[in-house]
Chains A and B, each alone.
Chain A
Amino acid sequence: MHSAQGMMRDRSRILTEALSVTSISPMPMKPIPKIPALLLGLLLSPVLASSALANPYEMQLRNGLRVIVKEDHRAPTVVNMVWYRAGSMDEKDGYSGVAHALEHLMFKQTRHHKSGEFNQIVAAAGGNDNAFTNLDYTAYFQIVPKRALPQMMALESDRMQNLAFNKEEFASEMKVVMEERRLRTEDNPQALVYEAMNAAAYKAHPYRRPVIGWMNDLENMSWQDAMNWYKDWYTPSNAYVVIVGDVNKDEVFRLAEKYYGGIKPHALPVRKPQVEPEQRGIKRVVVKAPASLPYIAMAWKVPKLVDVNKDVDPYALQVLAAVLDGHDAARLSRTLVRETRVAQSAGAGYDATVRGETLFYLDGQPGEGHTVAELEAALRGELKKIQEQGVDEAELKRVKVQLVASQVYKRDSMMAQAMEIGGLEASGFHWKDIDTILEKLKGVTAAQVQAVAKKYFSDDVLTVAVLDPQPIDPKAAHKPSVPLKH
């Protein structure tokens, strides 16, 4: 879900490249994550399951800013990331999309730099930079030759405290954000289904709102709204820095003190729990949009990971998702795409590490000559098989072999290592928890997988969203629902 909704400032391949080992995209090109996010976290983890290793290292400044450093001396480069625990879930109705809009505005002028200078300085160092916003967080990064790290930290420090975009810059950038929404969502039928599904599944919890925001909220957003967001949430005590690369930790800690140490923290707005009331029956939504293939997504409300040591079910759900769709020989593709051919594509997803609530997804497109109803029945049938017959040891072993191999492969990418640390921290866990999570996943039994399959997949907590493909009428221009402002 995180990986599915993230918005980026620029169409960049940096992240996709970093994560290509596991072929997931941080951009919402597929509305449902194909690889369970917790598993993904593990695939990308930089930490060997040996707590004897001191690397990564961390420290905290007096203003509350945490700094996490992973030394990796393979190449003379460094990834510098600043994460803020401010995502779309912290927005209020009528202000949807403001977290992401502010992410764009963070590249505008500050008290010390003119608009555009940030990118010029990064580019002049030979580096790449970008930013992304999600349900739980907003994050910024640069990948640079190591000598440029102090300069990058100075830039991040500056925009953490001195952002000063003006009204003209705001108005212009909001046009860009609306173009981004058109590109990602309005003209993307599966994204529309995903958006509709979340809006239906949650009625109280803020995950019901799309990260990029509703178009009408974007049209009515003001300079003051964005500036308020910045003033509310951008403070060192609500942020952490993740640095991976050819650096010395003590030197980085010294630089962190120098650049961030003087920033005064302030209190954060009150966060209400906004717990979703119990769902009392199946919800169904239909989205009509130009397309040729129908599409179905099914989402059950299930528990997330809360206590890494005591919890059992979230790990079992994670393994269930991997048994269904975690690798080349997993059940959904083998059975529904290759054997019965009821599906053109089929997938499963579950993200255990979230700040809010979570869903277990199944999704797919029907195969030639098959209907959405047949695919829905087939997806349910795969769950039923596990409810009744369980999974076998060989399947569990395969999931674990993937975990072990991926642990090694992920070390080939510094960006992936930084993403893994940052992502786990964003959902409220500590990067050190990765060791425990990994061991717990390896310890999941067949009986536990069968038990969660039986326990959580009631229709009473299910939301089903279906794409009803509409023929393309080239002459029928889609009219914006509301006249655009200029």
Chain B
Amino acid sequence: MRIHTFLITTACLVLSGLAQAGVKIEHWTTPTGARVYFVASDALPILDVQVDIAAGSAQDPAGKSGLASITRGLLDAGVQAAADAPALDEEQIAGRVVDLGIRLGGGVDSDRTSLTLRTLADTEQRNGGLTLLRRLLSAPSFPQDVLTREKARTIAAIQEADTRPASVLSRRFGAALYGDHPYGRTPSVESVGAVTRDDIVAFHRNNYSSAGAVISMIGNISRAEAESIAADLAAALPSHAPVAAIPPVSRPKGELVRIDHPSTQAHIAVGMPAVKRSDPEYYALLVGNYTLGGGGFVSKLMQEVREKRGYAYDVHSYFAPRLLEGPFQIGLQTRREQADAALKVVNTVLDGYLKNGPSEAELAAAKKFYIDGLALRIDSNAKLLGYLSAIGFYGLPLSYIDDYPKIIGSVTAEQVRAAFASHLNKDNLVTVIVGGDK
């Protein structure tokens, strides 16, 4: 969870260096409504493609958490026959991926489903890879036998995860923050067990639509080739109406949840639902969080919890913006006997920061980190692809790249204090402790 949210967060920060590096983002919409973001780059003989579908785990029906994820996971379990190509089973698909030397990736988060392709730019491999990508997206066969097997494997993995304090914390923290809202649900043995093939076929049919889809591409191809590729991918998907809106998020009542666990360390999280990606105050929160717990060893939490007291190896905080209010979270792990002592330090730091905000020097350091560090967050095709998809999916302006240093640079300490005050409230902060002595 942490890695995932971090990716989203950084994906939203970056981009300024694009302009510095002379990278040009081209944007258009396919005839069937998919939005396309393309960067031509001849630095390497490769092509990266990402297709984002506007349906993530927040679209899982109640009682069937895991449906979006299982649907995504089964895309390469088989494809139906086409006019010019026979059906493929999972072994044939795996074999084709290997023989072409391509890489498939992607996954599901709360807001979107992603499928990525990395291929050599040679015509044979590229065309083979793109054809396979199109068939996986548009004509998966979802064989029952594979579904049965993967449900069993998923359930076994959930049971195993439920023995680990970090996984228990993640599940319980999400539930405590969001209650019955889709953002608070996680797959369970029961919810995965309840998913049927009909559910999966319907989820794919209703949600894998070109309307709302974003196609991102970077690599050694021309604009004309990119247009043709995007049109081909989008045309393979139905273009019905976008998915249902996610219901609004409400703030939880602040509480302390303790869950017994025999682990040597207590795993602790503090947070609340906080910020939408479209929120203009997001940048003040981002910059401000650097000083609180986002800046590694430079941050107050790391200094007070780890450097001064040796309470934890890892302590951090982040805002993870989503379509709706994504979480603010402080996380740490500490020897079970000192859980309460460590938590007290965390709360003292947080209280002080909510009251005082960053000093001018701290603010300047945070802004310098984000602005000067842009170049190294976009120094590969793989990184750029993530930013293209974030721009597309969250509807950020194309000028975002040029604007970024100005946006970060203009944040004031007062704006940070105001943004923290309006997005975080002690009355709504939830604390979950898994393990630990009372």
Contact = CB atoms under 8 A, between A and B. Distances in A.
A284 to B, nearest CB: 23
Interface centre among B120, B307, B308, B334 (most CB of A within 10 A): B307
Interface stretch (A55-63, A182-190, A253-261, A267-275): A182-190
Interface in B51-72: none
Nearest to A16: B3
A440 interface: no
Contact of A182 (B46, B120, B265): B265
A450 B372 CA distance: 54
A128 interface: yes
A474 B95 contact: no
A280 interface: no
Nearest to A76: B375
Contacts of B163: 290-292, 469, 472
A111 interface: no
B379 A10 contact: no
Contacts of B6: 13
A463 to B, nearest CB: 24
B311 A179 contact: yes
Interface residues of A, number: 75
A53 interface: no
Interface string B372-401: 111110111110000000000000000000
Contact of A124 (B118, B336, B368): B368
A173 B46 CA distance: 44
A338 B94 CA distance: 12
B213 to A, nearest CB: 24
Nearest to A334: B91
Interface in A91-145: 107, 115-116, 119-120, 123-128, 143-145
Contacts of B162: 292
A476 interface: yes
A472 B159 CA distance: 11
Contact of A413 (B120, B156, B309, B380): B380
A74 B43 contact: yes
A474 B374 contact: no
A469 B159 CA distance: 12
A292 B331 CA distance: 25
A176 interface: yes
Contact of A175 (B296, B298, B310): B310
Contact of A145 (B99, B370, B373, B381): B373
B212 interface: no
Contacts of A21: 103, 118, 382
A107 B297 contact: yes
B433 to A, nearest CB: 13
A327 interface: yes
Interface in B128-175: 149, 152-153, 156-157, 159-160, 162-165
B105 to A, nearest CB: 9
B229 interface: no
A373 interface: no
B260 A475 contact: yes
Interface stretch (A350-358, A404-412, A452-460): A404-412
Contacts of A473: 262
Nearest to A328: B94
A334 to B, nearest CB: 6
Nearest to B371: A126
A20 B380 CA distance: 12
Interface in B247-300: 259-265, 295-298
B314 A11 contact: yes
Interface centre among B157, B313, B371 (most CB of A within 10 A): B313
Interface string B26-37: 000000000000
Given A143-B376, A477-B262, A480-B264, A412 B335 contact: no
B262 A368 contact: no
B77 to A, nearest CB: 10
A10 B297 contact: yes
A291 B365 CA distance: 44
Contacts of B260: 474-475
B160 A175 contact: no
Contacts of A475: 260, 262
Contacts of B382: 20-21, 412-413
Interface in B349-380: 365, 368-376, 378-380
B423 interface: no
Nearest to B386: A17
Interface in A374-410: 398, 401-402, 404-406, 408-409
A13 B97 CA distance: 27
B340 interface: no
Contacts of A75: 17, 21, 375-376, 378-380
Interface in A286-344: 290-293, 327-329, 334, 337-338, 341, 344
A124 B91 CA distance: 50
Nearest to B125: A405
Contact of A329 (B46, B97, B125, B261): B97
Contacts of B329: none
B102 interface: yes
Given A10-B297, A119-B297, A176-B313, A405 B20 contact: no
Interface in A34-63: none
B40 to A, nearest CB: 14
Contacts of A482: none
A405 B261 contact: no
B98 interface: yes
A328 to B, nearest CB: 4
B90 interface: yes
Contacts of A20: 382
B101 interface: yes
Contacts of B44: 408, 411-412
Nearest to B161: A292
Interface centre among A16, A176, A473 (most CB of B within 10 A): A176
A77 interface: yes
Given A143-B376, A183-B314, A408 B46 contact: yes
A218 to B, nearest CB: 12
A414 interface: yes
20 contacts: A13-B3, A75-B379, A76-B17, A76-B20, A76-B21, A116-B307, A126-B369, A126-B371, A179-B310, A179-B334, A292-B162, A334-B94, A398-B98, A401-B99, A405-B120, A411-B44, A412-B380, A412-B382, A475-B260, A478-B263
Given A171-B310, A186-B265, 18 more contacts: A11-B313, A21-B103, A74-B380, A75-B21, A75-B378, A119-B297, A123-B369, A126-B374, A176-B310, A187-B264, A187-B265, A292-B162, A337-B153, A341-B152, A398-B99, A413-B380, A478-B262, A478-B336
Interface of B: 3, 6, 17, 20-21, 43-46, 90-91, 94-95, 97-103, 118, 120, 125, 149, 152-153, 156-157, 159-160, 162-165, 259-265, 295-298, 303, 306-314, 316, 333-336, 365, 368-376, 378-382, 435, 437
